[in-house]
Amino acid sequence: MPGTDVTGCERRCVLPFEAVPSEVRLLRRAAVAQLTQWGAAMACSEAQIILTELATNVIKHVGEGASATLVLEWQGRRLRMEMHDKSGSLPILRAADCEAECGRGLHMLVAMSLDWGTMVTAVGKAVWCEIGLGSEAMCRRVERAVLALEAYQGFRGTVLEGRPHEEALEESVPELIADLLHWASGRGLAPDDVLDQAQMHYEAEAA
């Protein structure tokens, strides 16, 4: 998978790919290799989740086999990811309680990002988001965890009345992790590897 790396006040890498599941795996590997080369390995786990959602949305809503391009830009303490495709239809952020899988990937992107948006291009559109690096990213991780747990309780219909908020969130942690491991297994990932990677990133950032 070819890429272009520009060194200067910001680093930029362009990764064209075909929107099929096998290419998404290669795209994740290419992005991890590039971020590691830039010295931004702490962002790899987060970036993989986001770019997987972005690429999956292209497959679902533009069409399997469509041509797309991922652009990575390291700008100071932020990493910007842009997913370009040739469809002019902009994504819609639907209600979080939608029963079908409509817009949930976009909700995840919003929760994980410092900023995000869409833009019309000369040949279609681009969906972009920015994540933080360093201490800024640590604060965002805690904020995202709270958002994810609150949304998870909503999907499960958990009742909060008469119970402390923090206690309710704590009780949801194991269930959410279990669901994420089922999701990872369904995508062909080994749950033990996912846990090991999460622990590795946590320990590196906590240190």
List, for residues 129-170, the tens digit of each pLDDT value: 999 876 566 666 776 787 788 778 766 555 444 556 677 778
Mean pLDDT of the chain: 81
Summarize the confidence of residues 122-135 as an average pLDDT.
87
Q: What is the pTM of this model?
A: 0.62
* Statement: residue 178 has pLDDT above 80: yes
Of 195 and 1, which is predicted with more confidence? Answer: 195
The structural domains of the chain, with segments of one domain joined by +, span 4-132, 135-206
Architecture of domain 4-132: 2-Layer Sandwich (3.30)
pLDDT-derived band at 100, boundaries 50, 70, 90: very low
Of 4 and 92, which is predicted with more confidence? Answer: 92
39-91 tens-digit pLDDT: 787 788 889 989 999 999 899 989 999 999 999 999 878 899 999 999 988 87
Residue 192 has what pLDDT?
92
- Which residues, 6 or more positions from 7, have their beta carbon under 8 angstroms from its beta carbon? none
For 5, the enclosing helix (H) or strand (E) is strand 4-6
Give, in order, the Cα–Cα distances in Å from 139 to each of 143, 145, 149, 179: 6, 10, 16, 24
- Which residues, 6 or more positions from 54, have their beta carbon under 8 angstroms from its beta carbon? 70, 81, 83, 109, 127
Residue 101 has what pLDDT?
46
